Each structure stands twice: as C-alpha cells, then as structure tokens.
Amino acid sequence: MRTTRTAMALLASLSIVAAACGDDKEAASTTAAETTVAVTTADTAAPETTAGETTDTATPDTTGGDVDYMWTPNADLLAGAEGQLNVVAWAGYAEDGSTDPAYDWVTPFEKMTSCSVNVKTGASSDEMVQLMQSGEYDGVSASGDATQRLIAGDEVVAIDTAEYSSYADIFDGLKLQPWNSVDGKPYGIPHGRGANLLVYNTEAFADAAPDSWSVMFEPGSPADGAVSVYDSAIYIADAAVYLMATQPDLGITDPYALDQTQFDAAIKLLNDQKALTSQYWGDYTVQQSSLENGDVLAGTTWQVIVNLAQANGAKIDAVKPVEGATGWSDTWMLSSKAANPNCMKLWMDWIASPWANSQVAVWFGEAPSNAKSCDLDGMAEHCATFHASDDAYWKDVWYWTTATEECLDGRTDVKCVPYTEWVDAWTALRS
Amino acid sequence: MGGCLDRTPVLIDANEGGKAAGPSPPFRPAGPFRRINRAFFGRRRLGVASTLGLPLLWMLGVYVGSLLLLMVSSLYELDSVTQKPSNTLTLANLSDAFTNPSVIWVMVRTTMLALGVTIICFLIALPVSFFISKIAWRRARRGLVVAMLMPLWAGYLVKGYAWRAMVAPAGGRFAANGKGGGGFLESTFGWTPGYGRAAIVITLVYFWLPYMVLPIYAGIERLSPSLLDAAGDLGAKPFRTFRTVMLPLLLPAVAAGSIFTFSLTLGDYIVPQLVNNGKEKFMFGTLINSTLGAPNQPLAAAYTLWPLLIVVFYLFAMKRLGAFENL
Amino acid sequence: MRLSRFSRASLCAMTVMTIVFLYLPLLVVARLSFNPQKSVSWPGWRGYTTSWWGKAWEADGPRDALINSCKVAFASMLIALVLGSLAAFAMTRFRFFGKTSVSFLLVLPIALPGIVTGIALQNTFSRTIDLGLFSFKVGFGFHSLIIAHATFCVVVAYNNVVARLRRSSPNLLEASADLGAHGSQTFRFVTFPLVRSALVAGGILAFALSFDEIVVTTFTAGSGFETLPVWIYANFSRPNNVPLVNVMATFVMLVSIPLAWLAQRLSDGGDES
C-alpha cells in the first residue's frame, strides 16, 4: 500500500503547487487592477496633471516627479482605454528603464493612461509583417518596407489626425510620404528616421578609420573574416548601394529598383562577401556581444547597438560611409484588428510627442520626427548630429522600401525583381 | 514481424500482482453502476467507443486535422504584394520544397546532423546503461538511472542556455576591457569549441541523451541474465555475446530512443540561436522558421512536409522494429 | 557475462564522465546566478552576490511567466491524463480495427519536430473553421496553449498507464469477474489501484513536458501571454537581463529536479515494498 499513499501524497503536493500558482496570480492581478482603477480615476479627473503626481500613492515613483512629459492624453481615448496594448516594435523603441533606468518612456505612459504596454521586438520588417498578419497585435513601428505591405494587406488602417495632438508638430518632410499614406490619407504617425551605419573596431582600424563600405565587401581590410552582416533580404539593397558607387556601368539609380542584371550583380557581391563574414545577425544583441568581445571588427549596424556596446566598453565607432547608406523612416501604425485601439492610439500620440520622441531618438540614435523635440534642453545638438531637419542629408540615405516588379525608379523598359524574389535569393544565399 | 513480444519473455511482476489483489474488496451490489455495467456487458463496440472515442476524436480533430490543413495551406499562392496567401491554387510551393537544390541540401545536411546526434547518443547510452544495469553496485543502480534522467527535467531552454554559457568563446584581440573572458570551458580548460557547429552537436546530444538511456536501460533490464550466462557458458566472449545476443534484443529499445534523438534534432531551430551566434548555416528548422517569417506561410507549410514525411517514414520503420512497445 | 576488470573500470569511468557531462552545465548556470557581473563569461569560483535573486523575485516579468507556465502545465496535464488513460484502457482491453495505428497517432505529436506541430496548430487556430452547422475560431491565448500542450502530453500519460496495464496480468480481471465483481467494481478495486501510481507518474511527466515546452508555445501563445520558457527565450541574449535569466534557469532546476527525484523515489519505494 505504500505506493498508494506516496502517490497520493505526490498528487497532493502537485496540486498545492498548482493552487499556489493560482492564488499568486489572482493576488497579483487584483493589486494590478486596483492600481489601475486608482490611476484611471485620478487621470480622468485631472488629465492635465502629470503622471508623477497622481500615482505616487500607488507605487513609488522612480522616474522623478519633476519631469515635464509635455503630453496630455486625449480625454476621449483615455475614457475608453482598455488597460493594455500589444505592440510590435523595433528594439529600443519602447524602453521601460530595464536596460538603463535613465531611459524610460513606457512607465510614464502606463501611469498616465493605465495602459500596460506589452512589447514584442521584431528583428526585421519581414517578421513585423508576419506578426501583424496574425492580427494579435494592436500596432507596429513599421519601416517603409513593411508599411506598404501592411497597407496593401489591410493589416493597418488610416488614422484620424484629429485624435493625435502630436501630429501637428511632425516635420513636414515626414508627413504624407509614399510609405505612410495613400491618396493623401495618413496611415500612421511618423516616428523618426536614421541610417544603417558602418561600425568598426577603433583598435583594429587604428591606422585609418574607414569611411567606405569597402571594408565589408573587399578582402584584405583589417576586418577581413570578422565582418557582421544584417541577416535579412533587405540587406541586398546595401550591396546595391555599394555597387552604385563602385560599378556605375550597372546603372543602378535606386537600390530598391534592380532589374535582373543588377540584382544578379548584387547577389554575386554578397556571395563573395561570405568569405569575409563571420556573422549574420538577426537579433541586435548578437551583434552587440560580438562587438564587445572583439569577434566582429566591422559590420552594418544601428546606432543603438553602437551606443549599447560602447557603454559596455567596446572600442568601436560608427560612420555613414561615403557611398551613402540604406536607412529607415518609421511610422507607428494602428492595426485594423486592434483589440485595444484606444490604448494604441494613445501610445502613438505619446511616442510622437516632444518629450517621449526625444527620449527614443536619443536612445536609439536617430532623428526625431517631432520638430518640438529639438527645442528641448540638450536636444539641439542631437538634432544637428542626426540631421533631423536637414533634408539634404537624407539624399543619399535610401529608406527601406519594398521592391516591386514595376521599377520604383520609373524605368518602364525593364521589369524589376520583386521583393519576394529577394527573399528567395537571400534564403538560397544563406543556405 | 511479431515485434518484441515474441522474443522477450513476458514477466509477470509478482509484487505488482500481489499488491493489487492484496486487499480483498468488499463485494456489495454495485447499485447505480449496475445498469451501466449491464449495458456494456459483452458489447465490445460500445466499450471501444466509450473509451477510445474521446482521445481519438481529440487527436484526429485537433492534430491530424491541423496537419491536413497545413498541407492544404501549402497549395495556395502567396500574394506578392500583401505577402498573404491568396485564393489561387498552385503547386509551386511544393515543387520548390522538393526540387530546389538549396532546400534539399539543407535537408540532407540536417538529416546527417540528426543521424550523427543519434549515433553519438547511442554510443554513450549503451555502455552507460549496461554498466548501470549489470555492473554497478546493486543499491546504486536506481540512483544512477534517476541521476541520468533528472537533467531531462531541467528545462530545454535552461539546458540550451547552460551550454551557451559553457562554450562561450574568449574574446578576440580587440575585446573590450573586462569582456570576452570566455565561458566555463575556455576559462577552466583553455579550450572551447566556441559557438558554431560543434557546439550545436554537443548541445543536442546533451538534450536527447536521457531519451536514449532510458529505453536502453529498460531493455537491458528486461534481458534475462540466464541468456547472457548461457552465451558465456557456450563459450562466447563478452563482445560476441554483446553482438549476437544483446544487440539484436536491444534493437527495439534503441529504435525507441532514436525516435526522439533523431526527430527532435530534425526540426530544431532554437539551439542554433543559442549556441551559434549567427555563424553556422541554416538547419532545416531555421529555414522553415525564417520562411514563415519572410512572411511566406504557404512555402513554410510546404517545407514542413520534409520533416513530416521523414519522421513518419522513420516512425513506420521503427514501429516494425518494435520501438513502440519500448517508448 | 564476465567482463575483465579493465572493461568494468572503463565502463565505470564512462558512466561517471557522462554524469559529469550531464550536471556540469547545470552547476555552471547555478553558479552564474550568483555572479556579480552581467555576462555569461565564467567568473571562477570567487565573488558572489545574491542580489539577482532578490531582483528576480521583485521583477514582474519572470514571476507572471512562471505563474502562467504553472497554469498551462496543470490544465494540460489534467486533459492529457483523461485522454491518455482512456486510450490506454481501450488499447489493453479491446481488440478493434486499426488498433496498431492508435499508438502511432498518439506518439506523432511528440515525435514530429515541434516546429511542424507548432506551425500546423498556429495555422488551424488562426482560421475560422466552418463545420457547416456552426463555425468557430480558436484564436490564441491561454486556451490555445492548453489545447496544444495537451495534444502532445497525451502520449506520456498513455505510455505510463498502458505499460502498467500490460504488465499486470489479465488474470486479475478474470479473477475479479469470477468472484462476482461487476465492471465498475473491478475498475474501482482492481484496475484503478493498479494504475494509480502510473497516473501520478504520467501526470508529473506531462506537467514537466508542458512546463518545459518552447517551440509549440512560441507558435500558439499569441501576444501578451508569456510562459517562463518564452520569457527566457526573449531575454537570454539581452545583456541586462542575463542575470535574471540565470536566476530563473536555476530556479526551474531547483524546483523541478527535486520534484522529479521525489516522484521517482516514491514510486520506487512502492515497487520494493
């Protein structure tokens, strides 16, 4: 009979574990709900007060109550706030202070709106499109190559700019662009823009800092065999940018409008590049740790990765090479199947408001979209460095765009290689 | 083939039987159950339907249904603008999956890797299980088997992550100060396979080894000791006894273990992320996952047919070897 | 079979090495959870801090994920036990057409690579299924995870129960019937006591299997519902969260391994008495 008793004892202990789990969760959610209610009422009653003051009683405020967040939630949206939202975002677009306590624009938002933010980090535009297709997310920070697919697939909806107090202050150069509007109707709130940079190890390149993508494509540089490449089909455009400068005979005028010959040349370049490459990075942390470890001496990168790695002591620097670069201009979009549309709209308004927008711009290392961001203390320098209002600077930055069969550069005599074939070619290249 | 039942003697566990029959149940009339009993009495179909119905419905409805739907979804063309499945039917995805040389090459490479992992697991599991079952101090046996199995419980990601920490390589010449100290192996032995293929194989072997040890140990336990003694008495050297007596009898157990080592390796895409750092080329699981994220759901669905067919085929082969009685 | 001293010694050495191989990585993670630095680099045996344990305890993310994991595992364990033991009774008590295919069917979800199962279920759950009379969409969340996990846990429960039933002599049932017991009495006094410990064992295994699962979970969890493996998966490479990952990984080992050991020991004790 011992088996019986022991078996029962075990089952009992298991159920105790499970019960404990259950109790915990209930307790946790109850407290959460209580907090939420408290904050909501406080905010609805006096929407003009800032978060720091209203929520001190519920939770100790670690961000400091004296910060002026320069944003007032839209009262109508706030009244209908669902309590949470699920967003797909680029790494570093929704920081809650867990990476660096000084950078937290999620917590103030949560306090002001009672919308708790669940972030799913997308590693590439492709992945973001897939995640949005699932209909499980309320919105996305989409780059230009994702926006067109999202709009065409009815994953996102046009926005009513009246609901967004921040929209008026967005740089005109970012509004109603081909990648974020259809027939003059805006499909989201511009977030900011930046260029994909060349990162290099300052010690390995102690003699001469590189200023050309050639260190990633030509053998013999100090980074030969230690090159880090972004693992996405869109990287084919980076090869095309390099070819624009080095093989003018090919006649490439737009790295996203490649006919078959030009495309084949880019693929050949990328195949040759394999010999120099030690890493294809999808997750930004992979490249970050390799930069710190010195496994990677040159690569294509985002400013935020450089910042993070430098903070950990990596001896690196980044530059926009002479050939120009690919880049992005991102737009926050609202899902057509959003389960929490009000919270999402509030978030979109918040992230484009001067304070939050300046925070994310500094953190990620990109140009803000809100003109007023540049008026904040210490932001003028950042806006100058990242050419926030300098449209000339962006001439040789090729924003990520989805290649289509109809050539984007206006050529009608040839057909261009559509993006789906870019993906196939990239898969073949990587396998 | 009659499976292993013909070859392994069915042992009735005396303890088991005695224990169960021990307390004599009071036989009072069963009351409300009586009518149900009567309804079932002698009605085999009703009995089968009432017991098997629910699980069968679940497995067919949820699982086989899903697999069929998946196959159907591979027949739709991808809309090249929205990158969602359109309503147009096409065989292009299937033909790509089965004729594209680069896809086939990835599949072949991954299958080889899976076989390699299986063989390594077998080579480790066999002597170890033999030692535990036949040589180790009798009182230590149970403990040893349990010790072999416990790591199974530590969690797949936990273990993968542990190997990430084990094999982390030393930094390069230009590593940041205080960075690139290297993982446990590098720091302790001054050697590490680093991230990459070797680390993938080691981690996979580590994952699936207990799955191989358990059935082989059970198989050796089931071997009648007299059988081995008889072989010895007839003059067979240990190796010969092993080869001609033990191995054939253990085949079903090995087959059972290999189901997990082989097929779980075949579709893995997380280990390459954990211990690869973007170095090694695609494994097939990675290919499927990245195609799904392309996003190209129909093509990814077509690609899944590869592991699906290979594993089903493999299962049939193992079933013939009697593996299913040894799971 | 007689083996030379050398063979015995080398087999012994191999076993010891295998056990070291199996436990060393776990020890390394456990030690790293007390590592003052935020990296997976080996810090040696000096320098300890317990601060990460405190931080992990306070952080919401891992705790919520742990609770979610417990819930999913417990629910899918219950379903798997019901389905698995029903199937086991059918397989041992009756003969019927297609019997050999059933065990095949049950083992399929666990034998097929997780990514196949995951994509298949994701595809199904995301569709509106029209059955003529009514249509429905499963969608994603807690419920879809339970369905998915129960599906591949059935085989574990089934295997344990079926093994026990096969080992027990059919004579027992006949004897019970000869003594005048009805089917339900036989079940209550003979069959159920027989399989009770097998059910517990199967239940624990199913719980562990579900608790541990990452691949199918990634594809069927949807947004906003995180289990512990999903949390670890999302954070293992983030330098700032590495210490918390170390702690949670160690925590999982500290809870699950003794529990498994206890289960094993208890059922062993039963066998020997």
A408, A416 in Cβ contact below 8 A?
A: yes
Provide mean pLDDT across the span A228-233: 94
Chain C residue numbers with beta carbons less than 8 Å from the beta carbon of B159 are: 25-26
Q: Residue C120: pLDDT above 50?
A: yes
Chain B residue closest in CA terms to C239: B179
When comparing pLDDT for C185 and A359, which is higher?
Answer: A359
Residue A187, phi then psi, degrees to nearest 5: -110, 35
Positions of chain B with pLDDT lower than 70, given as ranges: 1-43, 324-327
Please name the residues between 138 and 157 in chain C that touch chain B, using a CB distance below 8 Å.
Answer: 147, 150-151, 154-155
Q: Which of A82, A52, A81, A51 is nearest to A64 (CA)?
A: A52
Please identify which residue in the block is written with the tokens 């918390």: C244
**Cβ neighbourhood burial of B239 (10 Å; 0-12, 13-18, 19+):** exposed
Which one-letter DSSP state was computed for residue B135?
A: I
Q: What is the pLDDT of residues A284-308, one digit of tens each?
A: 988 998 999 898 999 999 999 999 9
CB contact under 8 A, A313 and B103: no
Q: Which of B255, B226, B230 is nearest to B240 (CA)?
A: B230
SS3 C267: helix
**pLDDT of amino acid A62:** 41
Which one-letter DSSP state was computed for residue B294?
A: T
Q: Residue A45: pLDDT above 50?
A: no
Which one-letter DSSP state was computed for residue C39?
A: S
When comparing pLDDT for A309 and C180, which is higher?
Answer: A309
User: In this predicted structure, which of B221-235, B278-292, C73-87, C253-267 has the lowest mean pLDDT?
Assistant: C253-267
Report CA B30 to chain centroid distance, whole Å: 44
**pLDDT of amino acid B291:** 92
Provide mean pLDDT across the span C230-238: 87
C63 — contact with chain A (CB < 8 Å)? yes
Q: Which of C168, C221, C210, C218 is nearest to C190 (CA)?
A: C168
Across-strand partners of A87?
A119, A139
User: In this predicted structure, which of A37-41, A62-66, A278-282, B112-116 has the lowest mean pLDDT?
Assistant: A37-41
**pLDDT of amino acid B325:** 65
Query: Could you tell me the two tokens for C63?
Result: 């705790």
The shortest C-alpha distance from A271 to chain B (Å) reads 13
Query: Could you tell me the two tokens for C131?
Result: 């059955």
Q: Residue A28: pLDDT above 60?
A: no
Q: Whole-number mean pLDDT of chain C? A: 85
Q: Residue C43: pLDDT above 90?
A: no
CB contact under 8 A, A294 and B84: no
Please identify which residue in the block is written with the tokens 């196949």: C116
A147, A141 in Cβ contact below 8 A?
A: no
* Region for A380 from its dihedrals, namely left if φ exceeds 0, alpha if ψ lies in -120 to 50, beta otherwise: alpha
Please name the residues between 110 and 149 in chain C that touch chain A, using a CB distance below 8 Å.
Answer: 126, 140
How many angstroms separate the CA atoms of C140 and A45, rounded?
A: 36
A297, A200 in Cβ contact below 8 A?
A: yes
CB contact under 8 A, C257 and B153: yes
Percent of chain A with pLDDT over 90: 71
Please identify which residue in the block is written with the tokens 């899918």: C76
User: In this predicted structure, which of A4-8, A88-92, B307-311, C200-204 has the lowest mean pLDDT?
Assistant: A4-8
The helix (run of H) or strand (run of E) holding residue A43 is helix A2-45
Chain B residue numbers with beta carbons less than 8 Å from the beta carbon of A287 are: 278
Please identify which residue in the block is written with the tokens 């036990």: C81
The helix (run of H) or strand (run of E) holding residue A195 is strand A189-195
Report CA A378 to chain centroid distance, whole Å: 23
**pLDDT of amino acid B127:** 92
Which DSSP string do the residues of B224-293 spell out, in sequence order?
A: -HHHHHHHHHTT--HHHHIIIIIHHHHHHHHHHHHHHHHHHHHT--SHHHHTTTT-S---HHHHHHHHHT
**pLDDT of amino acid B42:** 62
B250, B4 in Cβ contact below 8 A?
A: no
C123, B73 in Cβ contact below 8 A?
A: yes
C228 — contact with chain A (CB < 8 Å)? no
Please identify which residue in the block is written with the tokens 């009648």: B224
Bond preceding residue B295 cis, omega within 30 of 0: yes
Query: Could you tell me the two tokens for A137?
Result: 């997310």
User: In this predicted structure, which of A223-237, A360-374, C253-267 has the lowest mean pLDDT?
Assistant: C253-267
SS3 A398: strand
Chains with 3 or more CB pairs under 8 A to chain B: A, C
The shortest C-alpha distance from C255 to chain B (Å) reads 9
A228 — contact with chain B (CB < 8 Å)? yes
Count of other CB atoms within 10 angstroms of residue B141: 17
Chains with 3 or more CB pairs under 8 A to chain A: B, C
Query: Could you tell me the two tokens for B232?
Result: 């010895």
How many angstroms separate the CA atoms of A11 and B27, rounded?
A: 28
Sign of CA dihedral C230, C236, C239, C241: positive
Helices C5-32 and C242-272 pack at an angle, to 10 degrees, of 140
CB contact under 8 A, A126 and B174: no
* Segments in A57-178 forming alpha helices (H): 75-79, 107-113, 125-133, 144-152
**Cβ neighbourhood burial of C265 (10 Å; 0-12, 13-18, 19+):** middle
The shortest C-alpha distance from A281 to chain B (Å) reads 6
B75 — contact with chain A (CB < 8 Å)? no
Q: Residue A58: pLDDT above 60?
A: no
C243 — contact with chain A (CB < 8 Å)? no
Count of other CB atoms within 10 angstroms of residue B226: 9
B24 — contact with chain A (CB < 8 Å)? no
Query: Could you tell me the two tokens for C21?
Result: 């191989």
CB contact under 8 A, A10 and C262: yes
Residue A314, phi then psi, degrees to nearest 5: -65, 140
> Tell me, what's the ipTM?
0.88
Helices B156-167 and C228-235 pack at an angle, to 10 degrees, of 20
Q: Residue A78: pLDDT above 90?
A: yes
How many angstroms separate the CA atoms of B213 and B225, rounded?
A: 19
CB contact under 8 A, B296 and A423: yes
Residue B163, phi then psi, degrees to nearest 5: -70, -30
Query: Could you tell me the two tokens for C72?
Result: 């999913």
Q: A197-201 and A316-319 as β-strands: parallel, antiparallel, unpaired?
A: antiparallel
B17 — contact with chain A (CB < 8 Å)? no
pLDDT band with cut points at 50, 70 and 90 for residue C130: confident
Chain C residue closest in CA terms to B68: C120
Name residue A12's amino acid: A
pLDDT band with cut points at 50, 70 and 90 for residue C35: confident
Could you tell me which residues come within 8 angstroms of residue B1 by beta carbon, excluding any fewer than 6 positions away? B320, B322
Sign of CA dihedral B86, A234, A301, A227: positive
Report CA A129 to chain centroid distance, whole Å: 13
pLDDT band with cut points at 50, 70 and 90 for residue A19: very low
Which one-letter DSSP state was computed for residue A374?
A: G
Rg (CA), chain B: 26
Query: Could you tell me the two tokens for C66?
Result: 């742990």
* Segments in B89-168 forming alpha helices (H): 92-99, 101-130, 138-149, 156-167
How many angstroms separate the CA atoms of A218 and A229, rounded?
A: 14
A332, A191 in Cβ contact below 8 A?
A: yes
CB contact under 8 A, B156 and C229: yes
Q: How far is CA B278 from each of CA A97, A289, A399, B222, rounded to the nearest angstrom?
A: 28, 12, 25, 45
Provide mean pLDDT across the span A331-352: 96
SS3 A302: coil
Angle value at C-alpha A379, between A373 and A382, nearest 5 degrees: 110
Helices C60-93 and C242-272 pack at an angle, to 10 degrees, of 30
SS3 B82: coil
CB contact under 8 A, A314 and B176: yes
Query: Could you tell me the two tokens for A303?
Result: 């400013």
pLDDT band with cut points at 50, 70 and 90 for residue A57: very low
Q: Residue A12: pLDDT above 90?
A: no
Please identify which residue in the block is written with the tokens 């050639």: A214
CB contact under 8 A, B278 and A3: no
Query: Could you tell me the two tokens for C168?
Result: 């027990």
pLDDT band with cut points at 50, 70 and 90 for residue C121: very high
Across-strand partners of A170?
A370
C250, C33 in Cβ contact below 8 A?
A: yes
Provide mean pLDDT across the span A95-108: 90
Chain A residue numbers with beta carbons less than 8 Å from the beta carbon of B172 are: 226, 293-295, 297
Which residues on chain A place their C-beta less than 8 Å from a C-beta of chain C? 1-4, 6-11, 14, 17-18, 21-22, 24-25, 28, 84, 86, 98-99, 118, 120-121, 134-137, 283, 285-286, 288-289, 308, 312
Which one-letter DSSP state was computed for residue C129?
A: E
C254 — contact with chain A (CB < 8 Å)? no
Angle value at C-alpha A190, between A189 and A196, nearest 5 degrees: 150
**pLDDT of amino acid B226:** 83
Q: How far is CA A410 from each of CA A251, A258, A405, A414, C108, rounded to the nearest angstrom?
A: 13, 11, 11, 10, 53
